[in-house]
Every structure is written in C-alpha cells, then in structure tokens.
Structure 1
C-alpha cells in the first residue's frame, strides 16, 4: 500500500473512530437514562396502594409528594430523549461492535505495527481498512454524522417534574403504568386530606361501640337495682318465709325494728348480734332476703318514668343515646366497607402528599371520590353524635323518639319479648329462614324492636306478605325497614299505595325514620314528583285514586323493589277498580306488603281475597276451613302480633297525630269561615261536611278498627255541632253526646251504659264536660277532633281514660288538617311548649303550673286569622283541592 493511501486510510479511520466514540457515548447515555427511568417507575409503583372491597381491587392509589418530582424527572428525561428509529439503532449498534472491531484490525495495516505482524495479519488489516472506508462512504451518504450530532448535542440536563403533571404525555409516566388501571386521574390532596382523621374516627367508633354498650348495660342495671331496692323497702319481712324451706322466726326482727326485706339486707352481718338471732338464723335470713332480691331483680323490667326523672334513669338515657350513635355507625355496612377499603390509603398518606394518582380497576375514579365523601360524612355524623349536642338533656332526645329507646332496652335484655309469640303461626322452616337473614339498616335511622326486625325479615324472605300487627306495634317502620334493606341491596324504586288521609303521615315517617327520599305523588305536584321518582328513585307515596294516573309509570320502572299497600282492607273487593289497579302494581313488584291493623280471622272472604292477590297457591280448598285453621294454612304469607303478645312493658299511652288533607268541601267551607273572620267556624269546618269530610272518614275507620280489635272509643270535641255530626256519622253503638248541659247524674249514667256496651262502642263527649270528673277506663281509644287552645284541656281529657285501673294501653288519635287553622294552632302551641320547657327547667313551681303552657285565646285568634287570610287570599292561592277520580 502506498504512503498516500495509508495516509488517506488513517484519516478515514480517525473519522470513523470518532463516530464510534460518539455512538458509544450516546448508547451509554441512553442506557443510563433508561435504567434511571425504570428504577424511578419501579419506586413509584411500589408506592401504589391497592384498595379492595370484598376481596376485589377497585382502585389503585399513588400518593405523590413534591419530592417525587425528582423521580418523575428521570421518567420525563427518558421520554425526552431524541427518538431513534430501528434502523438508526442498528447503525449505532453496528458502529460499536463490528465497525469498532474493524478499526482495530485496520491499524495493523496502516500503522507502525504493520512491520511487526505477519503477512496474513497485514492482509486482514487491509481488508478491514477497506471495510471501514466503505462504511465511512456509506455513513456519510446515510447521514450518520448528522445522527451522531443530533444524539450527542441534545440537552438532557437533570430536572424535576411538578407532580401535578404526572400524567402529562410529555412525562411518559402514564404509558409505563397503563397496566395498573384502565383509566387514571390526578386528584389534589385536598380531596383526601381529612381521610386519615375520618378513618380514625370510624375505627375508634367501632371500638367504642363495645364500650358504650357496656356502659348502657351498667346504667340499666343501676336503674333496675334502684327499682328493686324501692320494692324491697316496701316488702315486709314476713315474705322471708316464702323464700326458704327453713323455719324463720320473724319476731326478733320486729323487736329490733327491722320491718322490711331491704332492712335485712342492709343489716348484713350485724343480724347475728341482735337479741334472739344467732349465726345460723342470721345466715338463713340473709339467704332468704338475697333470694327475694334476685327473684325481684330477674322479673323487674327497666322502666322509664317521665314523671320521675331520677339521676340513675337520666344516666341510662345518656348512655343509651351515646351507644345509639355508635351503633348506627356499626350498622352502616356500606360506609364501613368503604372505610375498610380506604384505610390502607389513609395509613399511607403523609403530611407532604400534595397529589394522588387514582387508577380505575374494578370501579370508576368518580366512585372513588364518592367513597371518600361517604366516609367523610360518616365521620362527621359520628363527631356530631358525640359532640356538644350529645351532652344536652338526654330526656329531650328520649321524648322525641321513645320507641327507639325502648328498642335499645329490648336489645340489651332489659325488656324481654316472647320470641315464640313474635313468630305468629309461622312454620319452623320459615322461622329459621327468617332468623338467618341479616337485615341491612344502612338507610334506616329508626331502631327496631326484636319483633319488628322479625316482621321486616319475614317480608323479605317470603317476598309477598300481609302484616296485620295491631295498631301501635309499628307496621310502618317494619315496612320502611324492608324498603331500606332493598335500597341497600340495589333496588332504587319502591311505592306506597294508601288512602289520601295517610299520605302526609307516610311522607313524614319516611323522612324522619330513614334516609330514603319520599315523593308525594298526589295532589297538584304529582307530575313533578312522579318524574323525580322515576329519574332518581326513592319511595313514591300515592293514593288508590291517583293510581289510575300513575300505574303506567310504576310498571315501567325496571327495578320496582317493593309495593306497600296501607289500609289493605281498601282492596278487599276484587272487582273494584281500585283493587284491579293495585293488583297490577303488586304483580309488577318483586316484593309486596299489605298492611292492616284489622284482624282478618273472622272475615274469611276478605281474608281469602287479600291472600289470593299475593299467594293464590295458599287458598286451595279454603271454603272447607274454619277461620283459625285457614289462618294457619296461609301463615307463610300472614303475620299478626297483638300488643299483649310482644310488648311486655305494654306502653301506657300511644299518641298518633293524624295529619289529613282537606277535601274540596272542607276547603270551601274553611275558606268561607276565614273570609268571615270566624275563628270558631274555621276550627269546625273540616268536621262538618259529613261523608265528604276527610276527618270524618278517618274517624269512621278508627272506630271500625277499634271494634275489630275489641276496643271502645271516646270522641272529644270542643264543639256541640261537631259532636252532632259525629253521632250521625257513626250509626250504631253511640252514646251521648255528653255535654255541659247534661246533669252530672245523667253524665255518669251515660258513662255506665257505655262501659257496659260491647266492643266498638263510642262515647261522644264535649271535651270540657267529659274531660273532667269522670272515670272512663272502658275506653282505650281516644279521638280528639281538633287541637285545643289550652293543652291542659287535652291532658285532662286523656286522663279520663288513661288512669289507674286501665288494664289496656290507651291510643290517642289527634285529627289534624295538614293546612289551615289546625297547623297554625299546633305551630303556635309548639312554640309555647318550648317556652314552658325552658321555664320548667328553672322554676321549682313549674310542675304545679301547667297553665304556663296555655296561650291567650284572643292573641291566638288574631294571629291565625291574619295568617290564613294572607295565605288564602293572596294571588294564586285560593284554588280548592282537586276532586278525586271515581273508584
């Protein structure tokens, strides 16, 4: 090879050597950046928290702190590397391998080493030199220098990425973690900032529930101990003889001034030192006294007497209220499942976390946000229940919801229920199936007695049933418990069909005893209510009359979980139009509940019809059966319990506010009275329209139900004309009217005749006459036709039936129009009640001055007439209620 050729080859190899060095540097740099990016991604992946519900991952959550910007910078640095086509990558790999090797061989042909190697080596070097030269020529024409310049001149200085940009395309992180979820979203830390505290609150509440329950049990035992002591203080020592087989001489106790069993217990070991009593006799006496104590304790229910507010009872109510708040947390199964799912994230959140990447796996990211908010709401509820409000007077809460407190006492074992009687006539296999079902009370805010829980679970297990519990046992809350359970398990739509008179009561009960949404599909706003129900779910409350307009929309709903029919005797006639409409809704629903307080056993034709709507398979050969036998045959679809069966503490007083709409005739009469400014006429208007009066219709129903349940009724009104209308509306077994013009002797004669009459008898009395000086224990149902201006008048009237010697519970029905004077008077008296309660707390004479609650009649009259004239005679407010369609 000539000298100039060697010089030319040296120049070529030097140039290509530079290419090799540049390629090696570029590849090494790219490998280092890729390795750093992989390590950064691995580090971030390890920080992802899997959030599981029911064993399935719903979300992955990656907490990010500002310091993670350095890791994201590594990922972005790799993403920002100049792109490299496959052919370009092959060129670089070729340069650093084959070309680099050829350069080494070429030096043996063109460098000083050519004199030291053999011919074969020199020939190979010449071949390598030619290869390098050819590659150089190809490289120049292919743009290799430009490629190397592009790769080595790129500015890739280290930098940090703001964590808010983690999912930006230029960072490149999203594509590297696509396997973690089908979608991902960056969420500011503010969304989950208080999640750790919320989780801690819920976890502590669950732990505290056991402690609060134990405190309630201890407080209940203290109340029971006080009551037992009170009874033993009054129990004569002679009773010791009944508690032991040993002979006990009572004389020495009497000589020592020990007259009661409690005194024996109080003396304890000192007994044996009394004259005539040795160690053996003292031991027998104490043993007998302890036996009497235990027997009394075991049989002693825990009573709450609002007239005897002892420190022990107040503490019991406080403990029950605190336990109830914790218990509701434990019963919120959906929220607790969410809290459990989010707990790992809460524990992983550090103070410096600024953002969160949420990956959707089994659920959407929006559902993650909803879960966080649900847990936050649950924690706020717990904090509110245990905060300052919970430290108020526990009697206030008890008086607002006594049934809840009695349910808690029952759950704690202080009020025992006969479980067998709670089952009615159900066969054992159904009872066992009902027991196995766990009731989900997440959407139910009311507490349930044991028999109420059983009734709700019976309806769920048997799917279509009749619940015929006696009035006062809580059929409404049993039905609500069913609807709440179905909502918690995915059924969003339910419907209640009832008489117009009880629509308002249903709407109020749903709102006060559950978190379900009621929709009043009746009256002027029915179209909007129906649309809202179809769109958002909840409970539609409608009437038998409105059903003709509404039934198509009901049957079009795909998830109609349950249809409830209240006052089911309204559909006893299978050929009636209202019955046919209702049956179509019952058929469309997955579950159905017919509610009736009327015992059906002695009306076998009606009984057969109602059962046949739900379970026609149960009425085969029904004509051959006596009523009792037929009831047992249809037991799988029928449950009835009486008060005496399941309420061992038999409530002395059950008060019901019957809020009723004004019929068209009621409204027109009432409007005339308002226009004339006649306050007393306003108060009577809703009772003077005969069969067109909603109050009169409801009164007739109450009397009929009382007769069916073996009860007698007393009807009170302030007005003589109202009483005359009541007598005409109740055609049989009516006594009175007992008014102020009836002489005292004649009054008692009327009461005696009423007391001797049979079930369903009605005594009609003017409240100022029949409410004073008479004992009417024969009546266990009291109806007050209008709110009284002096509540003391009502109290005295109720006391005529609810008094010593009354062996039954007393039911009080207040007939109230949901608009107009009744509502106004009730609101004004409620304000007065608050003032009186404030007065009672600070006044030692409050108990002897209930008139402090009464209100000036003139003052009330002026206020009500002015407000009603404004309401009725302002523009667009004077339209009477629409008439009901025929059924």
Structure 2
C-alpha cells in the first residue's frame, strides 16, 4: 500500500525480459480502477514493452484480439492453434472480470507469468476467478496484496493453494495443524512454511524517512435527533433484540445497518426534510448529526492551517449529504465512489493532486476509494464511519500515507460513543491483532464472520446508558 508494488512488479517483468530469462507474454490482472495507473507506470518504467490494455465492450475487445494479439491474421479464429501463434504484445493488462468472460481467447495463450494485483480478492477458492485461472497455462504466478490476511488462516491457505497447489492441497489438514497457533513452535512452523512463498516489505523497509502517521479515535456524541432515531430503531425491533425471542442473523444485521446509519446521520432515512430544490437546509443538516457538528469545527481549523483532507464513508448516501455540507460551507472538493469509473476517477485524482489545486476535500467511499489510488497530496484523513473489516480502513488511509507523502499524516476515526460503532471498533481491533501475529511473527484464529452472539453483543452495547439518560431526563 503505497510501497511501490506496481513499480517493483513492472521492473521485475522488464528485467526478466531484458536479461533473456523469458520472452513473455505476461498477463496482468487488476481491478478496473487501477488499470490506468498500471498503463502509466509501464510507460514510465518499461518503455520498450508493448503493452495492450484489454478492456471495453464485446466489440472493442474483438477488435483488440484481431489486431493486437498475433502476427498471423486468423490465429485467434484457429482455436487450438493459438499456442503456435506468435504473440504481438509483451504485456496484456486486463480486469478480473474479463479473465473469466474471455477465458476462451485468453486461456489459449501460454503465459510466461501471471500477475494478480490486489490478490486478496482471490481469497476464497469458490470464486469463479480462481477456478478459471486454474485452467490457464501459466508458467509463473505472482500475487500482489497489501493485506494477505483479512480475516483468517483459511484465506491465506487459498492464496497458497493457488500458488502451489501440489504443496497446499489439504485445507482441513492445514487448519488443523495450525488450529492452536498460540504455541511458539506452531508459529515458527507457519513462518518456515510461508518463507519461500512470501516477500513481505514494510513501509519502514522501503522508505526510511516516511513521515509518521497518528491515528486518533474521536468519540462523538449523538445529537438529540439521532438519539430519538436510535431509540426508535431499538424499540421498533424489540422482538428481534430480545434474546428470548431472538431474531435471526439477517434481521440482526439489518438492525445493525439502521443503527450505523443513525450514527452517521438521521437524514439517511427516507423521511428526511428536503428543501423544494432537493437539497437540505445547511444549518439543520449539520445540527442533526454529532459527526457533522464536529467535522464543521475540524474543517475550519484544518483549512486555516492549509491541510487537505480525505473523508471516507462506506455509504454513498452519506457522501451525498457530505457534498451538501461541503457546498454549504463553501469548500471545493472531489468525489470517488463505486459509480465513478476508470477514466473519470483518474481525472478527479489528477485534479486533486495538481500543483496549486483549490480542492480542499476529497470524498471517497471506503471500498471504491481504497484500492491503488495515490492521494499523497492530502495529509489528513477522516474515517467518517469504520468498516467491518479493518483492512479496508487501512487500505483507505494508505491513500495518503504512502511514498510521496511529505507531511505527517493525521487519521481521525469518528466513533459514536456508547453505540454499535464503538463496539464494532473493538471487534475490528481484535481482527487486526490476527494479522499482526500471523504475517508478522505470531498467531491466528479461525474467527471469520460475525456470530449471532457477537451481533447481539454489538447491538446491545450502550443501549442501557441511552435509555437511562432518558429516564433521568424525565
């Protein structure tokens, strides 16, 4: 994450080619949003490579296959003969989806090396991508990821199984062997096992004088309106929450989502007061949410001191409200979420990173804005609401804390006091411990998704205090 994985990979492929170890071709598969960046880096670091970007709709892909794949005119139509064909390009850049959709064409080429960027997307072997790639003819495989372990050892096993299936082919055995991984000898064993397969670099190894980063958890109070909504959601769902009635996991997750929305902003519910123009009245918008009240004060200070801010939320609707808020406050901003694709994305990033850019804030959705995007011109990150998976938040703030960053990076994580959010943060911390222990020297567990017990526990966190306040108030 900001360690130059892309550049290291390109230079690695280039030197394989230049030193005569292989003629290629190389297949690079990456999330669609990062392909433009890969193109740029190839141009810069491996100018002699002929790189073909294989994306677009069905017709444009057919044209690329016809013109860019081979020196023989109808090689691609010849089916099985494709092995014999002389491939025109050195590198084919494509998205995960097309590896699956166009496996007939791509699978007929013998690849010298496959690179999968953000490989934690491969983490379960049920994924179609995984199964399809196993049918490709590939000499060598290279997986790039900033987070090799997101939840448990099982995911790590699937990555290893993809790399060396002959060695890692028994998941049960693997999990059993390392089930009790708190023992010293077990840990050593896992590390010896990982050693030959994993090259792990920390920012500190690559970049000796990286500016520091500080993460602060900022505890925010609910506004009166939020308290009203929060109690309403709890009382409305009393049946599901009452442990004797006991709702199922789905209904508990729905309640959880409602409570998370409420912690962000009560206007995320349909019955919110809009002006005739379709926007919200700025003052009321801010007063309705404890987080926005705080953000308003923070941004004024940050603006005075010439900082630039990335604001992450998981909810695109929340990003809409934040846009209204920034307009009302008169700040210039950019925005990226799942609906904004490759080229537009890169334009927004370039505008924000341009010297002397006026944009003060960049609004990003945690999942869409968290992958392979470079925003090192900002030095302050606000995580408006935390992700279930702490790795997504780390991916998110690594947009700013990366090579190229000149200032100290401050990360403010908003957490609503005595609410589901506070408890989720505690659960997330536990997940982070797991990574620290397995990928660095250490241990792991089978803890994957939330159990019903955990959900119950999270939902009830802080409710006592909330209703107690009310009784005292009366």
Shorter-chain TM range is 0.3 to 0.5
TM-score, normalising length: structure 2? 0.43
Structure having greater relative contact order (Cα 8 Å, sep ≥ 6): 2
TM-score, normalising length: structure 1? 0.24
Bigger-Rg structure (1/2): 1
Structure having the higher helix fraction is 1
